Structure 1
Amino acid sequence: MHPGRLTESMKCAEVQALAKAYGQDHVFAFWETLTESEQEKLAKQVSAVDFELIRRLYEEVAKRSGPPALDPRRLEPSPVIGLPQTQAEKDRCEQARKVGEEALRNGRIGCFLVAGGQGTRLGLSGPKGCFDVGPVRKRSLFQLHAEKIMALRKRYGAALPWVVMTSDATDSATRAFFEEMFFFGLGEDTVRFCKQESLPAIGLDGRLLMESRSSLCMSPNGHGGSIKAIHDSGCLDWLARHGVDTLSYFQVDNVLVRICDPVFIGHHLMAGAEMSSKVCRKRDWREKVGVIGFVDGKLSVIEYSDLPDDLAQETLPDGTLKWWAGSIAIHMLDVSFLRRLNQGGFKLPYHKAEKAIACIGPDGHPVKLKPGEKNGLKFETFIFDALPMAKASVTVETERALDFAPIKNATGEDSPASARAMLTALWASWLERAGKTVPRKADGTPDCRIDISPLTSIDGEHLGMLKIGEIKRGGDVVA
Structure 2
Amino acid sequence: MGPPEELRARLARCGQSHLLRFWAELGPAQRGALLAALPPGLDEHCRLAAAAGARQRGPPERLDGRMEPLPARLLGSVRRSDPAALERWEAEGLHQISQNKVAVLLLAGGQGTRLGVSYPKGMYNVGLPSGKTLYQIQAERIRKVEQLAGQRHHCKCTIPWYIMTSEFTLGPTEEFFVEHDYFNLDRSNVVMFEQRMLPAVTFDGKAILEEKGKIAMAPDGNGGLYCALVDNKILDDMKQRGIQKYEPQLRHHVAIKKVPYIDEEGNLVKPLKPNGIKLEKFVFDVFQFSKNFVAFEVVREEEFSPLKNADTADKDTPTTARQALLAQHYRWALKAGARFLDENGCRIPEKLSLSGTEDAPAVCEISPLVSYFGEGLEVYMKNKDFPSPFVLDENKAKLLGNS
Is the TM-score greater than 0.5?
yes
Residue identity opposite 1:424 in structure 2: L
Shift, 1:25, TM fit? 2.6
Among candidates 380, 385, 395, match of residue 470 of structure 1: 385
Q: Which residue of 2 aligns with 1:31?
A: 23
* Residue 220 of structure 2 is aligned to residue 221 of structure 1: yes
The 2-side partners of 1:74 and 1:20 are apart by 37
Count of residue pairs brought into register by the alignment: 366
Specify whether residues 15 and 186 from structure 1 end up closer, same or farther in structure 2 by C-alpha distance, changes over 3 A only: farther
* Deviation by residue 1:296-338 (Cα, 9 ceiling, x = unmatched): xxxx248xxxxxxxxxxxxxxxxxxxxxxxxxxxxxxxxxxxx
- Give the alignment's Cα RMSD to 1 decimal: 3.3
Q: Which residue of 1 aligns with 2:345?
A: none
Residue identity opposite 2:143 in structure 1: M
Q: Which residue of 2 aligns with 1:81?
A: 76
The 2-side partners of 1:415 and 1:169 are apart by 23
Query: Where do residues 298-317 of structure 1 align in structure 2 (5 Å cutoff)?
Result: 300-301=273-274
Specify whether residues 399 and 467 from structure 1 end up closer, same or farther in structure 2 by C-alpha distance, changes over 3 A only: closer
Specify whether residues 282 and 44 from structure 1 end up closer, same or farther in structure 2 by C-alpha distance, changes over 3 A only: same
The sequence identity of aligned pairs, in percent, is 28
Shift, 1:22, TM fit? 3.5
The 2-side partners of 1:73 and 1:105 are apart by 43
Q: Which residue of 1 aligns with 2:278?
A: 351
Residue identity opposite 2:131 in structure 1: K
Q: Which residue of 2 aligns with 1:276?
A: 255
Task: Write 1 or 2 for the structure with the bigger share of helix.
Answer: 2
* Deviation by residue 1:110-157 (Cα, 9 ceiling, x = unmatched): 111111111011111011111113511221111111111111111113
Shift, 1:168, TM fit? 1.8
Query: Where do residues 389-400 of structure 1 align in structure 2 (5 Å cutoff)?
Result: 389-400=289-300
The 2-side partners of 1:463 and 1:76 are apart by 41
Residue identity opposite 1:237 in structure 2: D
Specify whether residues 217 and 389 from structure 1 end up closer, same or farther in structure 2 by C-alpha distance, changes over 3 A only: same
Among candidates 449, 458, 472, match of residue 363 of structure 2: 449
Structure 2 residue runs without a partner (length 5+): 151-156, 341-347, 394-403
Worse-superposed segment, 130-139 or 75-84: 75-84
Shift, 1:451, TM fit? 2.3
Specify whether residues 72 and 383 from structure 1 end up closer, same or farther in structure 2 by C-alpha distance, changes over 3 A only: farther
The 1-side partners of 2:139 and 2:161 are apart by 9
Query: Where do residues 297-336 of structure 1 align in structure 2 (5 Å cutoff)?
Result: 300-301=273-274
Would you say the 8 A contact 2:3–2:20 is kept in 1? Answer: no
- Residue 103 of structure 2 aligns to a residue whose secondary structure is strand
The 2-side partners of 1:139 and 1:241 are apart by 33
Specify whether residues 69 and 476 from structure 1 end up closer, same or farther in structure 2 by C-alpha distance, changes over 3 A only: same
Q: Which residue of 2 aligns with 1:241?
A: 240
Q: Which residue of 2 aligns with 1:51?
A: 42
Specify whether residues 73 and 35 from structure 1 end up closer, same or farther in structure 2 by C-alpha distance, changes over 3 A only: closer
Would you say the 8 A contact 2:94–2:148 is kept in 1? Answer: no
Specify whether residues 187 and 242 from structure 1 end up closer, same or farther in structure 2 by C-alpha distance, changes over 3 A only: same
* Deviation by residue 1:411-435 (Cα, 9 ceiling, x = unmatched): 2311110010011011111111111
The 2-side partners of 1:68 and 1:224 are apart by 23
Would you say the 8 A contact 2:305–2:316 is kept in 1? Answer: yes
Would you say the 8 A contact 2:96–2:102 is kept in 1? Answer: yes
Q: Which residue of 2 aligns with 1:387?
A: 287
**TM-score, with structure 2 as normaliser:** 0.79
- Residue 19 of structure 1 aligns to a residue whose secondary structure is helix
- Residue 276 of structure 1 aligns to a residue whose secondary structure is strand
Q: Which residue of 2 aligns with 1:117?
A: 110
Q: Which residue of 1 aligns with 2:337?
A: 435
- Residue 259 of structure 2 aligns to a residue whose secondary structure is strand
* Deviation by residue 1:3-55 (Cα, 9 ceiling, x = unmatched): xxxxxxxx974655643454423112123334666545434323x45324325
